[in-house]
Amino acid sequence: MSRRSYCRCTRVRNFNYEQAARKLGCYRRWLEDNISRLPHQKYGSAPVFCECELALIQEMHSVISDAALEHAAALADERGQAAEPEPVLSLKSIRPAGASRRARTAS
Ligand SMILES: [Zn+2]
């Protein structure tokens, strides 16, 4: 993973401590105290955050119970969205269409 492979920004739009704290709804002091563990950019002594870094911080600090997680997965299922990615088929499991029918008529 490259240093900024998580970043989807198409143009530079950074937020300083005050702006980031307002967007996240947290205390500026919390960001300052935890900056070494948070994704950010650093120019001199002024750390800044892009939208993607704020989203990562949000994900890192989201608290969700197992029950809530199961409920969210069930909702996603109802809506036809796969909660988990489709399993990758192994080569052995792949058969040409109609192969079993042809085998049956041959015998
Ligand atoms: Zn970004």
Residues 6+ apart with CB under 8 A from 60: 38
- Entry pTM: 0.66
pLDDT classification of 107: cutoffs 50, 70, 90: very low
How is the chain split into domains, by residue range?
A: 12-79
Q: How many residues does the structure list for the chain?
A: 107
Evaluate whether 83 touches 77 at the Cβ level (below 8 Å): yes
Q: What is the CATH number of domain 12-79?
A: 1.10.1660.10
Gap from CA of 65 to ligand 1 centroid (Å): 28
pLDDT tens, position by position, 19-75: 999 999 999 999 999 999 999 999 999 999 999 999 999 999 999 999 999 999 999
Q: Which residues are in the CB-under-5-Å shell of ion ligand 1?
A: 7, 9, 50, 52
Gap from CA of 70 to ligand 1 centroid (Å): 30
Evaluate whether 14 touches 41 at the Cβ level (below 8 Å): yes
**Backbone angles phi and psi of 2, in degrees to 5:** -75, 165
Gap from CA of 30 to ligand 1 centroid (Å): 21
